[in-house]
Amino acid sequence: MFAGPNGSGKSTLFDAIKDVYFSTQIFINADLLESQFKKNNFIDLSDYNLIVSNEDFVSFVINHGIYEKAGFDLSSWNLKVNKNVIVKIDNQNPIIYNSYHFAIISDFLRISLINQKISFSFETVFSHPSKLNLIRMAKDNGYKIYIYFIGTNSPIINQERIDDRVKKGGHPVSRTKISDRYFRTMDLLYEMIMIADEAYLWDNSKLEHKYIGSKINTSINFIDDIIPIWIDKYLVKKL
């Protein structure tokens, strides 16, 4: 699992280390799902080694907490599984697909993969306690949990990076959400690290990300005596 607040540099770090750290070929990223769907108008579930029925898909979607929160109904959701491919129900429906659609689809993929015991990795902000339940569920199903976490000393750093990303054509995130999610994610750091079989930490407070240390089983080790403020506050002081 690749985790960290919005704007912390998850995607950049993933690209830098994936060939060294990742053996699984299945990677779930809600932003990538959204861009691919908007380009192709479908998501082929066989790309994730899954075979899924529309009944299972619909049941999962309508019972997902975001479905009601986002005000979805069947018309505004407008997605189904046809021959193992997620497609639009009505191609003439003018709705605009948004991040809520793909957050639900990402969860559906993760749960389906866990139920079928298929190895995968994913990227997440990890700002909601439900993600703790997800990795506990995976562990109960025999998965080894590997967490690659990247953070910064302040949400202001993340805001500036997202502003720069938007100027380059990337998707925006409101400043309020960036700040709120930053602190919610950091508050969950200790628990996620304790659940993990192995966890690796990077700091991205400066110009380039820096590897800080790891937790393997019950042993936590840092490469330097001086550690970033956020690791000291949200992890070390809780040990």
pTM to 2 decimal places: 0.93
Buried b / exposed e over 169-193, threshold 16 CB at 10 Å, is eeeebeeeebbebbeebbebbeebb
Residue 86's φ and ψ, nearest 5 degrees, are -80, 120
Structural domains in the chain (count): 2
Report the pLDDT value the prediction gives residue 19, as an integer from 0 to 100. 80
Instruction: Copy the structure tokens of residue 15.
Output: 């690209």
Report the pLDDT value the prediction gives residue 138, as an integer from 0 to 100. 98
Residue 212's φ and ψ, nearest 5 degrees, are -105, -40
Last residue of a domain, one of 118, 135, 163: 118
Q: Give average pLDDT by consecutive 10-residue segment, the chain, 239 residues.
A: 96 86 84 95 98 98 96 97 98 94 98 97 96 97 97 98 91 94 99 98 96 97 98 98
Last residue of a domain, one of 76, 93, 118: 118
Q: What is the pLDDT of residues 86-128, one digit of tens each?
A: 999 999 999 999 999 999 999 999 999 999 999 999 999 999 9
Report the pLDDT value the prediction gives residue 169, as an integer from 0 to 100. 86
Report the pLDDT value the prediction gives residue 17, as an integer from 0 to 100. 87
State whether 3 and 48 are in the same domain: no
State whether 55 and 137 are in the same domain: no
Last residue of a domain, one of 118, 133, 161: 118
* Residue 112: other Cβ atoms inside 10 A: 20
**Structural domain that includes position 135:** 1-24+119-239
State whether 71 and 107 are in the same domain: yes
